[in-house]
Amino acid sequence: MMLEARQIGVIRGGKVLLDNVSLTLLPGHVTALLGPNGAGKSTLLKVLTGDVTPTYGAVYLDGRPLEGWSLVDRARRRAVVPQESSLAFPFTAFEVVLLGRAPHVALRETPRDVAIAQQAMARTRVDHLAARAYPSLSGGERQRVQFSRALAQIWEALPDGSARWLLLDEPTASLDLAHQYKAMAVVRQLAKEGVGVVVVVHDLNLAAYVADEIVLLDRGRITAEGRPEDVLTAERIRAVFGLDVIVTPHPHHGRPCVVPLYANGE
Amino acid sequence: MMTLRRWCAVVGLVSLGLGILGAGSGCRRDVTTQAAVRTVTDAAGQPVAIRDVSRVVAAGGSVTEIVYALGAESLLVGCDASSLYPEAATKLPQVGYVRALSAEGVLSLRPTLVLTVPEAGPPEALAQLRASGVPVLVVPAEPSLEGVKKKIRAVAQALDRAAEGEALIRQLESDMAQVQSYLAGRPARPKVMFIYARGQGAANVAGRDTAAAEMIRLAGGVNAFDFEGYKPLTAEAAVAAAPEVILLPARGLESSGGIAGVLSMPGVNQTPAGRNRRIVAVDDLLLLGFGPRTGQGVMELARLLHPENTSEK
Amino acid sequence: MAAVNILATRPQVLRLPGHWLIGGLAGALCGIVLLAVGIGAVAITPAQSLSILAELIGLDVGVPFTEQQQAVLLTIRLPRVLFGALVGAGLAMAGAAMQGVFRNPLADPGIIGVSSGAALAAVLCIRTNGWLFGKAGGTLAVYQLPIAAFLGGSLAAFIVYRLARREGTLSVGLLLLAGIALAMLAEALRGALIFAATDDQLRSVTFWSLGSLGAASWVNLSMVAALVLPAMMWLGRLARPLDALLLGEAEARHLGFDVTTVTRLAMLAATLIVGATVAFAGIIGFIGLVAPHLIRLAAGPSHRTLLPGAALLGACLVVLADLLARTVVSPAEMPLGVVTASLGAPCFLWLLLQERGFRS
């Protein structure tokens, strides 16, 4: 049961966005995609979700090509939290979360679906926003509501026992500091429950905190892959990000902590 | 999807059923005893049976004019928005524009006969009137002298005023004879450009097979353009055609800003008509209605095209 | 594509329960239909109306009526009122669906080019005095204009659809642009045709564009119903996909909905509805815009309530508007489009003032 990208290449308009990228993702693990702007992180995520068709190579879910899965089957086991979403119509936040149950709803939402939506909102601490109009929420509140929606989508374990997947594209972009880490805590909990998570983040320390495995991308290629402490070294960060840093183990949980070095007077 | 298809079939059948039911319910006819029935042939060649002419609705300016000219205006209970002559007609209840009649509106006047022209519409309204037992006579309306005679005869027959109808036709013929004698000593046939102006600079000119072309011909003129129907006025075309007279319907002249306005239209200034300021107008209905006053219209136009004081002998 | 946040600033939302609203509107529609059937240029008392209707199902209520009153009620008024309800319901639903597909509350049902194409075809038919569609005389000749309008509208929508297709997917952004481009082209051609038209033809074109239910007969009603009712049912089944589509195309796909199919189906349904109604009733504006808007204000944007609600409200509005059109200048009639515009414009103004008042 795994999500694989096999030799993915994406070329758009003559530009190489991804070059021969192969990746194996396992349920119960959190994989963070890291890299500077333009490295191809979002493109890779979009290939994994099926939004972008690779120029060559393919994605395999549980051994079968992704195209072979119907949209509904995909939606039942895989949820996506987008980077940004605009909504021009005044749905309430609750209604948006309830839409996450759509792949599991036959004709009409059941009380169970309603209960799941409520629980999902409680889990991300947005239940107090349930009756508010979604377009009137702040960027951060909206992102958390989208997160709830994705949770509601894959809330229940599948009857055939196949893995559930959660893919997040920069989910913390609009969140303030506390909410960023709270959200990542939920992500870690989900992984413990067996969900396979792929998350695109910018913040190296956040990645170090949340990920079991980090995939470092640079100019469309995988530069490094492995545990946070193995991938996040000062030399590599300097090479890929162009920044001088010190990497030191976190005083409490021992994961790598990236501290930038500021040059004097610059 | 199966259920959907079944639903569609059900809905389609129900609609069809409604249609049949409705069509059936509309076909009841009055089966009272037939009084003296006249049969008149309409514009499509179909016979129309007319019994009662006590309440007549006329739709179409020329038809209304004929009814008045036959002396039968007491029979009129309503007319349409284009019936502007004589003035008394504008005081009658109005049932809309001849192309957009209101079936129920007409019926509210309890008519026993509807007289109208081929461009009357919508067709459903006419069908509904017929289905309600009101005979609808569409009189022939070709834009020619023969056409006028046929129109007058049809209306006269319908209203049982055949004698008055023939009198109108004789009047028309005598009017035309006057025109002939007026034109007899005036062999010149000036080139005439007919402008259909609609204000704001939108102007069309008439080619052949138009009502205007026919009137020009009858009045001893020659149409400056030979294409069919109407086309927009362009400076080049106007100059190339070199008309000696420019003709407009009276309201068109007014809406173009009078003679000055016409002179400012594309190319007009460079035509002989423009240079000599020979811009003339005739009342709209008189000029283009092809009603009982057609002869007078032609005479008026002939006088304008061949002014009395110019001796062309 | 930038979304238009009309009501975005309100934190609390009004939500009338869906069943309430639908039930209330259905009741209102019944009442309005009865009212409209009972009022008109020909004098028929309410008691006579009921008597005529009762006789249809075999009941003798004992109130006498004339043959002509019966003909007026059953062959003129009843089909016309039902036709009006059908037109209103169809246009409102198509408008709601298009607003969902384009994620824009200002989209009207003709946004994919149907109205422009139909109008162009109608002008062409009028200008050529129908010869374009053959002088196949008799009954077919009467349907030249509606057939032309329907074909023109369908062709326009098809062109827009093909222009917006890209590698097998349908791009909503391209749909919008193609629709606008086609509308502009159709307007230009229409202008050119009108420019060289005779006064009479111009009058015909104007009357046609202003819209009227005068062409309503049982036969025409069945033809339009055969096209519009199935299309409305298709749209009804698209309620949840349209809700998901509001989140965004990618999000809707992530939720398991085939966005391309949904968009295609919605477009097809809208084309059928608008094509059929424009063919027989001309251009009737504002209903497809105002009815969904009002329902959204009252009960929220969920299509499960919006689609049927807008349909019922649209039906009520058109029947009422036509009632006004038939009675205000009796025995003549006002064009329906003029009445709907007169009602629709103040409605939008009111919405604007409400929004302005809220923001200050």
Percent over 90 (pLDDT), chain A: 53
Tell me chain C's radius of gyration from C-alpha atoms. 21
pLDDT higher than 70, residue B310: no
Whether the pLDDT of residue C220 is over 70: the answer is yes
Which of these ranges, A131-145, B198-212, C173-187, has the smallest mean pLDDT? B198-212
| d(C-alpha B51, C-alpha B59), whole Å | 19
Taking an 8 Å cut-off on Cβ atoms, the answer to whether C251 and A132 are in contact is no
With contact defined as beta carbons under 8 Å apart, do B157 and B165 qualify?
A: yes
Interface check A79 vs C, CB under 8 A: yes
Chain C nearest-CA distance from A15, in A, is: 19
Nearest to residue B56, comparing CAs of B164, B168, B155? Answer: B155
Measure the CA–CA gap between C141 and C120, rounded to whole angstroms: 19
Other Cβ atoms closer than 10 A to C129 = 15
What is the per-residue pLDDT for A88?
76
Looking at chain A, which residue has its C-alpha nearest residue C104? A88
Kindly tell me if the per-residue pLDDT of B311 is higher than 70: no
* C230 CA to centre of own chain: 15
> pLDDT by residue (tens digit) across C297-340?
888 899 999 999 999 999 999 999 999 999 888 788 888 989 99
Q: Are B175 and B181 in contact (CB under 8 A)?
A: no
pLDDT at C199 over 90: no
Q: Which of residues 63-102 of B touch C (CB under 8 A)?
A: 78, 81, 93-97, 99-102
**What is the per-residue pLDDT for C12?**
59
- Name chain A contacts of C253, Cβ cutoff 8 Å: 50-51, 71
Given this model, what pLDDT does residue B17 score?
56
Per-residue confidence (pLDDT) for residue B171, from 0 to 100: 92
Beta-bridge partners for B47: B41
Please give, rounded to a whole number of angstroms, the shortest distance from the CA of C359 to a CA of chain A. Answer: 13
The average pLDDT across B105-117 equals: 92
Between chains, do B26 and C218 touch, taking CB under 8 Å as contact? yes
Choose among B140, B142, B116: nearest CA to B60.
B116
- The two beta strands, A213-218 and B191-197, are unpaired
Topology of A3-260 in CATH? Answer: Rossmann fold (3.40.50)
Smallest CA-to-CA distance from B291 within B122, B154, B93 is with B154
Over pLDDT 70: what percentage of chain A? 98
Band (pLDDT 50/70/90 cuts) for residue C4 is very low
Pick from A100, A116, A89: nearest CA to C13? A89
When scoring C129, C199, C208 by the number of chain B Cβ atoms within 10 A, the one with the most, hence best to mutate, is C199
Give me the DSSP letters along B139-204: ----SSHHHHHHHHHHHHHHTT-HHHHHHHHHHHHHHHHHHHHHHHT-----EEEEEEE-STT-EE
pLDDT of residue B309: 59
What's the count of helices (H) and strands (E) in chain B, helices before strands? 13, 12
The pLDDT tens digits for A212-226 are 999 999 999 999 999
A164 to chain C, any CB pair closer than 8 A? The answer is no
A18 φ, ψ to 5°?
Answer: -135, 140
The pLDDT of residue B24 is above 50: no
Superfamily of domain C2-359, CATH level 4: ABC transporter involved in vitamin B12 uptake, BtuC (1.10.3470.10)
Residue range B212-231: average pLDDT? 88
A22–C contact, CB cutoff 8 A: no
- Residues C132/C224, Cβ–Cβ less than 8 Å: no
Position B31 pLDDT exceeds 70: no
Phi, psi of B263 (to 5 degrees): -65, -25
For C257, the 3-state DSSP assignment is: coil
For chain C, domain boundaries: 2-359
Q: How far is C101 from chain B (nearest CA, A)?
A: 22
Do A and C count as touching (3 or more CB pairs closer than 8 A)? Answer: yes
| pLDDT value, residue C3 | 41
pTM of the entire structure? 0.84
Q: Which helix (H) or strand (E) holds C169?
A: strand C169-170
Would you place residue B153 in the very low, low, confident or very high pLDDT band (cuts 50, 70, 90)?
very high
> pLDDT per residue over A120-140, tens digit each?
999 999 989 998 889 888 888
Rounded mean pLDDT of C285-292? 90
Residue B2 binned pLDDT confidence (cut-offs 50, 70, 90): very low
Evaluate whether A26 touches A195 at the Cβ level (below 8 Å). Answer: no
Contact B300, B218 (CB under 8 A): no
Does B have 3 or more CB contacts under 8 Å with A? no
Q: Do chains C and B touch (3 or more CB pairs under 8 A)?
A: yes
* Minimum distance, in Å, between the CA of residue B177 and any CA atom of chain C: 31
Partners of residue A82 in chain C, C-beta under 8 Å: 248, 250-251
List the subunits that have 3+ CB pairs under 8 angstroms with B: C
* pLDDT score, position C228: 95
Q: Percentage helix, strand, coil, to 5, in chain C?
A: 75, 0, 25
In order of A94, C299, C301, C308, the CA distances from C19 in angstroms are 19, 10, 15, 10
Q: Which two tokens stand for residue C86?
A: 């059908």
* C12 contacts A133? CB cut-off 8 A: yes
Task: Write the pLDDT tens digit of every residue in B60-73.
Answer: 889 999 999 999 98
Residues in chain B: 313
Q: Which helix (DSSP H) or strand (DSSP E) does residue B103 occupy?
A: helix B103-108
Per-residue model confidence (pLDDT) at position C135: 52
Q: Could you tell me if C198 lies within 8 Å of chain B, comparing CB atoms?
A: yes
d(Cα C305, Cα C308) in Å, to the nearest integer?
6
Determine the distance in angstroms separating the CA of A93 from the nearest CA of chain C, rounded to an integer: 11
Per-residue confidence at B20, pLDDT binned at 50, 70, 90? low
